[in-house]
Amino acid sequence: MPPTRRRPLRTLSAALVAALVPLLAALTLTAPPAAARADAVPAATLTEVTGFGENPSNLQMYVYVPAGVAEHPAVVVAVHYCTGSGPAMYSGTEWASLADSHGFVVIYPSVTRASKCFDVSSPQALRRGGGSDPVGIKSMIDWVVRTYDADTSRIYATGISSGAMMTNVLLGDYPDVFAAGAAFSGVPFGCFATTDGSEWNSACSGGTVIRTPQQWGDLVRAAYPGYTGPRPRMQLWHGTADDTLRYPNFGEEIKQWTNVLGVSQTPAVTDSPQSGWTRTRYGATGDRAPVEAISLQGVGHNLYTWGMASRALTFFGLDGSTGPGPDPQPGACRVQATTNAWNTGLTGSITITNTGTSTLTGWQLGFTLPAGQTITGGWGATYSPTSGAVTAVNASYNGTLAPGANVTIGYQATHTGNSSAPTGFTLNGSACTAG
């Protein structure tokens, strides 16, 4: 796509930055901290930084710091496509102009290997701290955090094609670093894995690598064994006519990230924000649902167009929008579930208590029915699907749940011998305490 904005490109070594910062501080003792930080690299100019830290695959680091950089800025890592570069990503997307408006810092990693594709296939790339490109990108983030006192709770990744695949990899390798990601025309984490040194996986690109949600989720969890903390949210984009990374990969990504985030694969809401687009949200209905997926009818691999980054920014929560926001999330919730069985039938009763501090306006309760149970009717909510992992969505009259308030819903079901109560409760994507 043709560049729409050009600025001078400058190169500044980390060593030079380290030498200049004390001098600048001495010359501007009365200046506010933000002004000193703004001088670390030239403002409003794409700048290359060298010597930024561990960099096993010799990536280049480009950074854009707006003139109005925030006191503790968010950080967006914008990852280029195959044959691309950091400067091409800078000039061909609107992330720099969005940074001007919202005060965050943008990192543009750039590949130096001949293919200009990111490594999303080697065993080293697919584990935390394993080496290759993810380690270098993590070093770039660390440099920005040190230099600009960036907000470590607001670090995001986005990318196109190879960059979208790297977005999946980064969120899998470093779930404790990233708050969310947006992948434009990518594949699931681990789908491109190879062991022969090849960068290309034809089975994955052709859309023939099909796994269960649990299998996809286990690949992500294996990248950082033992990690039990929160996982980053994911926004996914794909064209139905993609002939480079075929469309089945979109569904596999959805399976992976809904499993990783522990939310139902049944959409909480489906809409069409633009003609030819189908948007599904999982785990919540607001702008910052755990997983958001946008399918573009009849669109090929090069789906990215101007304006899509703004939608990703809204998903990240960086646009300061006063429009529809995320569903209020409870700090905690409690569920009590009982059943009353006879022969091959039962009734179930579920009481949901909001033990958090925010009022819920609209809720979805996820739970898992024991094997052999099938819901035949219900009250207080709509239930879908009727067996297995079920999502109960509030009725029109009980969607508001204030802190400390509770609501009771119920259902009828058949069973084949196991009449136990359901388990695995989540309220708007947050795990609930049973009992």
Strand order in the sheet with 9-13: 9-13, 46-50, 60-64, 105-110, 75-79, 155-160, 180-184, 233-239, 291-296, 277-282, 269-271
Percent helix, strand, coil in the chain, to 5, is 25, 30, 50
- 263 burial class (0-12, 13-18, 19+ CB within 10 angstroms)? buried
> From the CB of residue 164, how many other CB atoms can be counted at a distance below 10 Å?
30
Is 161 marked active-site? yes
Structure tokens at 308: 């899509």
H/E element, 295: strand 291-296
> From the CB of residue 306, how many other CB atoms can be counted at a distance below 10 Å?
12
- 324 burial class (0-12, 13-18, 19+ CB within 10 angstroms)? exposed
CB 291 within 8 A of CB 281: yes
CB 44 within 8 A of CB 7: yes
H/E element, 172: helix 162-173
Query: Which is catalytic among the residues 110, 132, 161, 419?
Result: 161
H helix intervals, 231-295: 248-260
Single out the residue of 404, 315, 420, 408 nearest to residue 365, CA to CA.
408
Active centre residues (catalytic): 161
